[in-house]
Amino acid sequence: MVHSVSRRPELAGLPPLSKEERRRSKRLTETLAEEIDRCGGAVDFARFMELALYAPGLGYYTSEGPKLGAHGDFVTAPELGDLFARCLARQVVDVFDHVDGGSVLEAGAGSGRLAAGLLAELEKRERPPHRYQILEPSPALQARQRALLKNVVPQWSDRVEWLTAWPLDFRGVVVANELLDALPVRRFRVTESGIRWLGVAWDGTRFVETES
């Protein structure tokens, strides 16, 4: 079963795309259409979302351009000041007390401001982590995080490590701020005949919703 994806009227007021944004949007559309064709005409929504967000150089989080802050698309608590990081650092210290120290693993570090704030506050409390690991799949965000941390907390640069997969051996605290909405999810609909999984197909001109 195939349903058309309706156009959202509230998107009509958005500013026009730049030439580079149009090029990237076109290439991402082609990449998604190719994946749908390779999978037999439809893909699970989670796969569609994964490519839309993380396709190398094309996805929302892996492409160039501002994401966070006044010139980006959204603002999170760490971007507004250091209060959030200072409060969170107290909880990190509490955990360190129970596990005899350890490291911090931040999943999806955004601009790097939370990492910088945590490292600065943990230094004040004389409880710096053994390592500060950042799980970040986006090369563009990795570069932004490196630059900010080098500028704000250069004394801890030798303890910061970037990862693209979860470590096999870890002891310490895992933190994540506003991460769940950036993780691919499966969609489904409950009907009288049972659960129907929702996917995405390409009709040659636009993406459409499917059920299976």
Q: In this predicted model, what pLDDT tens digit does every residue of 149-201 receive, in sequence order?
A: 999 999 998 999 999 889 999 999 999 988 888 889 999 999 999 999 999 99
Helix (H, G, I), strand (E, B) or coil at 34: helix
The SS3 of residue 189 is strand
Q: Residue 212 and residue 195: Cα distance in Å, rounded?
A: 9
Q: Identify whether the C-beta of residue 11 lies closer than 8 Å to the C-beta of residue 17.
A: no
Q: Are strands 172-175 and 194-202 parallel, antiparallel or unpaired?
A: unpaired
Q: Which residue do the tokens 């409390």 mark?
A: 125
Rounded distance between C-alpha atoms, residue 202 and residue 196, angstroms: 19
DSSP state of 142: H
Token pair belonging to 87: 């409060």
Question: How much of the chain exceeds pLDDT 90, in percent?
Answer: 62
3-state secondary structure of 44: strand
Q: Is the pLDDT reported for residue 206 higher than 90? A: yes
Q: Which is more confidently placed, 104 or 2? A: 104
- Given the candidates 3.40.50.150, 3.30.2020.30, 1.50.10.10, 1.20.120.420, the CATH classification of the domain at 77-182 is 3.40.50.150
pLDDT in tens, 113-150: 999 999 999 999 999 999 999 998 888 889 989 999 99
**pLDDT at site 10:** 54
Domain parsing of the chain, residue ranges: 24-63, 77-182
Local structure of residue 154 (DSSP, 8 states): G
What sign for the dihedral angle of Cα 64, 62, 178, 130?
negative
Amino acid residing at 142:
Q
Distance CA 81, CA 59 (A): 28
The DSSP output letter for 132 is E
pLDDT for 100 equals: 86
Task: In whole angstroms, give the CA distance from residue 40 to residue 61.
Answer: 27
Residue 8, pLDDT above cutoff 60: no
In tens, the pLDDT along 29-87 reads: 999 999 999 999 999 999 999 999 989 889 888 887 766 666 677 777 778 889 999 99
pLDDT at position 5 over 80: no
Beta bridge partners of 165: none
- Give pLDDT, residue 141: 84
Per-residue model confidence (pLDDT) at position 96: 95
Global confidence as pTM: 0.72
